[in-house]
């Protein structure tokens, strides 16, 4: 597997598009790892300090993800090195999308990612430049759709991704309305845990979970796990966190979801980051959801969680282990050998799968159809891994082998 991985990691990306903003210090890259199947896909992220290497590694991660989610296309990613809290963010995004419009028309499809919102930023800005939907390049480059087919596929995408959820099974209660894009990735991360216990064995109800990151992915995953009877015992976020060794009730978890400030955990009982970071890795829990930034989990944190009874990690964040390698370095490998690690490209493929599903000719644009399709996709991938490796360790390695065999 390591040999396959090295070959894939060392393949030079097919296209690298580089951009320097004329009116600010922002710089950006689109990295297209390959135009497998005539197109490539991957979201747009923005953060201060982002560099080309990060975008390259994320493009390769997307290529692996498409082996699970479909369609059979290449991986890509857009990254902008700029502070997302800067008031000039909107102007920077407008100039960026104007520059990449030719790619988005012909062979590249994008969406939201870290600090860039699919519904409120990507879709309206790209629309203003004549792009019907940010996935239009995939419809053109991969599907070679006729005009009527193109109208149907793009119509399904426009309707489905921004769809306001009506089914109470898929949304927390509260006055705010949530869309498919808000909830689907976290739903998939939670479903990966549910299917894991169903396939590899064990009772999910009553298990305890620790969540890292309280953005859409972590918070939604916590809500869906709580519905299944999982006790959320700890949450660690950028500015602090919460611990409740008896587990927060479903209503408390939902309340923490709906009272977020943007992507930030808000609570009168918030513990400082330093204090939560000292305590949370030793909390007795069986499930860990890393859903914050990439490359945060250290070997020491893994060791402490394992000692406290950890059974399974469902990766909400891409590349959650603090390894310099693109996919799978020493910390990730060691952890995979001790406990069950469901890799990012399986656990967090929800949004990529929604795009693939909505581009299909048989798509049904209902809450239930979209969410069930994501659940079935993750279940299928995990069953495939289980048939190769029924052991509860080296699950991530086995999943990588299956994916890389299709790419290298």
Residues 187 and 111 in one domain: no
Q: How many whole angstroms separate alpha carbon 25 and alpha carbon 310?
A: 44
Are residue 194 and residue 240 in the same domain, yes or no? yes
Does residue 203 form part of some domain? yes
Q: What are the helix and strand counts (H, E) for the chain?
A: 16, 13
* Residues of the domain holding 103: 12-162
Structural domains of the chain, count: 2
Binned at pLDDT 50, 70 and 90, residue 267 comes out as very high
Token reading at 227 = 């519905």
Residue where a domain terminates, one of 162, 191, 213: 162
In a domain, 234, yes or no: yes
Positive or negative torsion for Cα 117, 119, 121, 126: positive
- Only one residue has tokens 């030719």, namely 102
* 242 and 301 part of one domain: yes
Take residue 302 and report the two structure tokens written for it.
């893994």
Query: Buried b vs exposed e over 29-51: b needs ≥16 C-beta within 10 Å?
Result: bbbbbbbbbbbbbbbbbbbeebe
Q: Are residues 195 and 89 part of one domain?
A: no
Statement to judge: residues 285 and 399 lie in one domain: yes
Q: Are residues 394 and 245 in the same domain?
A: yes
Same structural domain for residues 224 and 324? yes
Q: Is residue 110 part of a domain?
A: yes
The mean per-residue pLDDT over the stretch 277-301 comes to 96
Q: Check residue 174 and give its pLDDT.
A: 76
pLDDT of residue 325: 86
* 71: three-class secondary structure by DSSP: coil
What's the pLDDT score for residue 178?
94
- Residue-level pLDDT at 355: 96
pLDDT band at 222 (very low <50, low <70, confident <90, very high): very high
Query: 363-396: per-residue pLDDT in tens?
Result: 999 999 999 999 999 999 999 999 999 999 999 9
Q: Which of 162, 192, 213 corresponds to the end of one domain?
A: 162
- 79-95 burial, b for 16+ CB within 10 Å, e for fewer? bbbbbeeeeebeebbeb
**pLDDT tens profile 91-137:** 999 999 999 999 999 999 999 998 999 999 999 999 999 999 999 99
pTM: 0.94
CA distance 34 to 55: 14
Whether residues 33 and 68 fall in one domain:
yes
CA distance 29 to 27: 7
Taken as a whole, the chain contains a residue count of 408
What's residue 274's pLDDT?
98
Q: What is the CATH classification number for the domain harbouring 36?
A: 3.40.50.10860
| Whether 269 and 385 share a structural domain | yes
Let me know whether 216 and 297 are in one domain. yes
Are 154 and 267 in a shared domain?
no
CATH code (residue 321): 3.40.50.720
Is the same domain home to 129 and 190? no
């Amino acid at each position: 597997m390591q040999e396959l991985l090295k070959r894939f990691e060392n393949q030079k990306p097919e296209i690298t598009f580089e951009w320097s903003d004329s009116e600010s210090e922002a710089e950006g890259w689109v990295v297209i790892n390959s135009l497998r199947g005539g197109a490539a896909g991957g979201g747009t992220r923005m953060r201060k300090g982002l560099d080309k290497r990060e975008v390259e590694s994320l493009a390769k991660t997307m290529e692996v993800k498409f082996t699970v989610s479909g369609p059979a296309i290449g991986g890509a990613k857009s990254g902008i090195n700029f502070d997302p809290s800067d008031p000039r963010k909107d102007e920077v995004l407008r100039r960026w999308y104007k520059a990449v419009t030719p790619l988005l028309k012909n062979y590249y499809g994008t969406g939201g990612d870290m600090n860039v919102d699919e519904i409120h930023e990507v879709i309206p800005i790209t629309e203003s430049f004549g792009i019907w939907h940010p996935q239009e390049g995939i419809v053109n480059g991969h599907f070679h759709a006729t005009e009527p087919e193109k109208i149907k596929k793009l119509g399904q995408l426009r309707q489905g991704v921004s769809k306001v959820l009506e089914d109470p099974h898929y949304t927390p209660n509260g006055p705010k309305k949530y869309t498919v894009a808000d909830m689907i990735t976290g739903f998939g991360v939670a479903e990966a845990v549910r299917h894991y216990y169903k396939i590899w064995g064990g009772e999910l109800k009553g298990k305890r979970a620790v969540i890292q990151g309280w953005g859409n992915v972590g918070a939604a995953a916590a809500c869906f796990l709580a519905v299944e009877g999982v006790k959320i015992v700890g949450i660690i976020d950028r500015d602090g966190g919460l611990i409740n060794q008896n587990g927060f009730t479903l209503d408390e978890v939902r309340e923490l979801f709906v009272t977020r400030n943007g992507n930030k955990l808000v609570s009168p009982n918030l513990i400082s980051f330093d204090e939560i970071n000292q305590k949370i890795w030793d909390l007795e829990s069986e499930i860990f959801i890393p859903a914050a930034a990439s490359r945060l989990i250290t070997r020491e944190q893994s060791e402490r969680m394992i000692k406290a009874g950890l059974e399974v990690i469902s990766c909400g964040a891409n590349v959650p282990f603090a390894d310099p390698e693109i996919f799978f370095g020493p910390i990730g490998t060691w952890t995979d050998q001790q406990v069950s690690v469901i890799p990012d490209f399986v656990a967090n493929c929800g949004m990529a799968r929604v795009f693939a599903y909505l581009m299909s000719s048989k798509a049904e644009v209902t809450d239930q159809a979209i969410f069930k399709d994501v659940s079935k996709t993750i279940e299928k991938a995990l069953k495939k891994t289980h048939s190769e490796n029924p052991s509860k360790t080296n699950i991530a390695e086995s999943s990588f082998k299956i994916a890389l065999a299709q790419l290298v």
